[in-house]
Chains A and B, each alone.
Chain A
Amino acid sequence: MSHENMEYVHPLPVRIWHWVNAAGFVLLIITGFQIRFAEYLGYMSFEAAVTVHNWVGFIVIADYFLWFFYYFITGKIRIYYPDLNTFIPRVIKQAQFYGYGIFIGDENPHHMTAENKFNAMQQKAYVMLMFILVPLQLITGLFLWDLTRFSSLVDFMGGVKIVDTIHVFLFYFFVTFMIVHAYLATLGHTATAHMIAMFTGWEEHH
């Protein structure tokens, strides 16, 4: 493979984290729907759905730590930190591109490199996702896995219904995220370019 015009932007640990997380989320969503709507859905038993959901939940938690330690130990975590001086204009510019420029054939204002992987909108979304929403989902999931073990923390959060409500609301949010994320992944120079890059690590500049 010629690496001219190609840039290595997704190191192996990041790709492993991403695809394990993606597969995990898909399984958690499938089993999550079965658990929540047991009376309507019957593609697996409630007991099996809970078992799979619990096991996959722990895999996703371990996977989150892979992401966390890799990014912090290598210092690459700074790709998530927005430059506050230029952040808002860049978000506006990026939003204008997705909302208008992309339709008339404008060039994407963001050029992906290993050090500057995310556009401003991605940075905003992923900081929120990886530092707040994903940890909150993992923590509430852990509490729901064993309410007795975490009873004092569950009470601190306002009781089991509050914990479950957060978990379910985030569940719906992540279902939506997966749909939008998968769609946005098709907006490369070809429909599959970003997805192939997420397997090979190499993103083609176009």
Chain B
Amino acid sequence: MKKKRLLVYGLSAMFMSFVLPAPSIADVSNDSCMECHSDDSLERDASTGHNASLFVDIEKFNASPHNFDEEACVGCHSDIEELDWDADVPHEVNLANPDCAECHDETALAFADSVHAENDITCYDCHVYHGPEQVASRLTAATLQSNFCGHCHVATDSHDWLRQKELHLSSIQCTVCHAPEGGKHVRFRFYNSYADHYLSAAEIKAGLKIDGDFMDVYDEDKDGIISADEYFTLSEDIRERAFISDIRAELTSDSDPLIHKINSDGAIRDCEICHGANSALFANAKIELRGDDGSIRLVTVDGKAAASYNVKNFFSLSATRFLFLDLTGLLLILGGIGVAMLHFSIRQFTQPLRDRRKAAEKSH
């Protein structure tokens, strides 16, 4: 069956070769590959090694960082130098596995020093072959668990030492703690809780009723950062323009090669690293603006915005606290001490009055 299909493709290709010039390596475009690999029933058959789907979901590929970086199929499958449309299969049947380290050298270096490398885990065990997702940039903590780490690890089966582990696991990416050397930030996403949907950049702009670029509108001082005050303006616009959206936040790894350096005994277990007002993890935040093509743009926000009451579903004890509340508390306590001390002092000062009155009452 598969051979028959390949024969049809071969004949089609042969026909095309009469009307089109023969492609060279430079012409091995993704479209050429998709001539065959867009067929979702295309499989490598047993005679060539093992059964495996040869289907490539071009939409997933197009939404992947490889496509955004204008990487072509033959960028990874570099042993395809030309396509022979006269052959049953226009290229070598047994291609070498792409070597991710050729481009991702820093990642490969970090990965080499990881528990995953020690256990012969490959890049493909976590990253999808033809639609690799850029974990830190593109996934929520929950989807990271289900789509990546969750393939092998059930996070809730462990982490029993962690207070409120479900909460931590649902709002912090695994790599934040398990790849401690990697960069981290608080990620804000616009979320419509009624539709259970994270909004795209176009939906955000439509909801906020803004024209032009997001930063042109909200980065008023044009310093490239949404300050706490500018974030307040954004929050006001959400309210005033009846934009149905929460800003959901979570602790996310940067897109950093070091997030591949995961070691079982090297994870963060010290609560104070996060739970302190000076925690570096909350120094900066980023708003995620997702393009319709799946590309991600991150806009830097002052970390103080994480303490804002406009970020309803995110809070870290002591790390995102509100100064006004503590000042009020301080005044309250000082007031209490002050009243008690003042009252005590007046009592001490007026003791002779009472003594005289007592003596007078006794003498009567």
Partner-B contacts on A (CB < 8 A): 35-39, 45-47, 50-51, 54, 98, 102-105, 145-148, 158-162, 164-165, 168-169, 171-173, 175-177, 179-180, 183
B312 within 8 A of A: yes
**Contacts A/B (CB < 8 Å), 21 sampled:** A36-B326, A39-B272, A39-B278, A46-B276, A47-B271, A102-B347, A104-B350, A105-B358, A148-B167, A158-B312, A159-B309, A160-B315, A161-B312, A168-B326, A169-B328, A175-B333, A175-B336, A176-B335, A180-B339, A183-B340, A183-B344
For B335, give the chain A residue with the smallest CB separation: A176
For the complex of A and B, the 6 pairs showing the least CB-CB separation, nearest first, are A172-B329, A159-B312, A176-B336, A39-B276, A105-B354, A183-B340
* Stretch in B80-88, B293-301, B317-325 touching the partner: B317-325
For B361, give the chain A residue with the smallest CB separation: A105
Verify B318–A176 contact, CB threshold 8 A: no
- What CA separation (Å) do A161 and B170 show in the bound complex? 17
For A175, give the chain B residue with the smallest CB separation: B333
B209 partner residues in chain A, CB cutoff 8 A: none
Contact of A50 among B271, B335, B347 (CB under 8 A): B271
A145 partner residues in chain B, CB cutoff 8 A: 164
Contact of A171 among B322, B329, B340 (CB under 8 A): B329
Q: Which residue of A165, A173, A179 has the most chain B CB atoms within 10 A of its CB atom?
A: A179
B339 partner residues in chain A, CB cutoff 8 A: 180
Verify B272–A46 contact, CB threshold 8 A: yes
Verify A180–B309 contact, CB threshold 8 A: no
B318 partner residues in chain A, CB cutoff 8 A: 35-39, 46
Verify B357–A104 contact, CB threshold 8 A: yes
Verify A103–B346 contact, CB threshold 8 A: yes
Verify B329–A162 contact, CB threshold 8 A: no
- What CA separation (Å) do A35 and B316 show in the bound complex? 11
- Chain A: minimal CB distance from B164 (Å): 6
Verify B329–A104 contact, CB threshold 8 A: no
- What CA separation (Å) do A164 and B314 show in the bound complex? 11
Verify A39–B277 contact, CB threshold 8 A: yes
- What CA separation (Å) do A160 and B314 show in the bound complex? 7
A176 partner residues in chain B, CB cutoff 8 A: 332-333, 335-336
For B168, give the chain A residue with the smallest CB separation: A148
A168 partner residues in chain B, CB cutoff 8 A: 321, 325-326, 329
A177 partner residues in chain B, CB cutoff 8 A: 336
- What CA separation (Å) do A196 and B275 show in the bound complex? 41
- What CA separation (Å) do A147 and B329 show in the bound complex? 24
Verify A164–B315 contact, CB threshold 8 A: yes
B337 within 8 A of A: yes
For B271, give the chain A residue with the smallest CB separation: A46
For B340, give the chain A residue with the smallest CB separation: A183
Interface of A is mostly: helix
- What CA separation (Å) do A180 and B166 show in the bound complex? 40
Contact of A183 among B275, B312, B322, B343 (CB under 8 A): B343
In the complex, which residues 148-174 of chain B have their Cβ closer than 8 Å to any Cβ of chain A? Answer: 163-164, 166-167, 170
B279 partner residues in chain A, CB cutoff 8 A: 39
- Chain B: minimal CB distance from A167 (Å): 10
B313 within 8 A of A: yes
Other than the given A37-B318, A38-B277, A148-B170, 5 more pairs (CB < 8 A) read A50-B163, A147-B167, A159-B313, A176-B333, A180-B339
B330 partner residues in chain A, CB cutoff 8 A: 172
B353 within 8 A of A: yes
A47 partner residues in chain B, CB cutoff 8 A: 163, 271
Verify B347–A103 contact, CB threshold 8 A: yes
- What CA separation (Å) do A142 and B318 show in the bound complex? 18
- What CA separation (Å) do A177 and B329 show in the bound complex? 12
Verify A165–B325 contact, CB threshold 8 A: yes
- Chain B: minimal CB distance from A34 (Å): 9
Verify A104–B335 contact, CB threshold 8 A: no
- What CA separation (Å) do A145 and B165 show in the bound complex? 11
A35 partner residues in chain B, CB cutoff 8 A: 275, 317-318
- What CA separation (Å) do A161 and B305 show in the bound complex? 13
- Chain A: minimal CB distance from B314 (Å): 8
- What CA separation (Å) do A166 and B269 show in the bound complex? 29
- What CA separation (Å) do A159 and B315 show in the bound complex? 10
Q: Which residue of A51, A98, A148 has the most chain B CB atoms within 10 A of its CB atom?
A: A148
B344 partner residues in chain A, CB cutoff 8 A: 183
- Chain B: minimal CB distance from A129 (Å): 14
Known: A36-B317, A103-B354, A159-B312. A179 touches B322 (CB 8 A): no
- Chain B: minimal CB distance from A102 (Å): 7
- What CA separation (Å) do A19 and B124 show in the bound complex? 62
Verify B322–A38 contact, CB threshold 8 A: no
- Chain A: minimal CB distance from B69 (Å): 38
- What CA separation (Å) do A175 and B336 show in the bound complex? 9
- What CA separation (Å) do A98 and B164 show in the bound complex? 47
